[in-house]
Amino acid sequence: MATEGKNLSDFNPDDLPDLTGKKFGIVVSEWNHNITGNLLKGALQGFYDAGVLDSDITIKYVPGAYELALGAQKLIQSGNIDGVVCLGSVIRGETAHFDFVCQAAAQGIMEVNLKTGKPVAFGVLTDDSEQQAIDRSGGRHGNKGTEAAVVIMKMQ
């Protein structure tokens, strides 16, 4: 496993570009809120640790991971957003629905990056179990929300 025994959420704020005046968006899926709420906490903490002010962060909720791309696009189109973090959690079930949602979320988020020219981070957990999602949303493997915030800050 790529993250076995690793916490990938540690970063040095000194390694980031100057973020003065930058405005960020976070789009959060309401589906699996127990997981996405922790991803949101991680993303916010990452921004705060880098000196980003709460007033420079806009949070938008969408129903599920499938809707993350449109939520990000709407935030960017609203103006004055320099990058967006998309946070979601899709946990494998008994049908192919998992595959369709994961593929659509990934493709949609990538398309918003290319269409708008603004960085949009893929902070979507695509796990086989709830425990794997817990481990990656503030558990033993760190917080992918923090990592997605760092991606957006590095892309400025």
For the annotated catalytic residues, the residue numbers are 97
Total number of residues shown for the chain: 156
- Residue 91 is given by DSSP the state E
Quickly tell me which residue has 């946990």 as its tokens: 91
Q: What contacts 1, CB < 8 A, 6 or more positions away? A: none
- In 7-119, where do the E strands start and end? 24-29, 57-62, 83-91
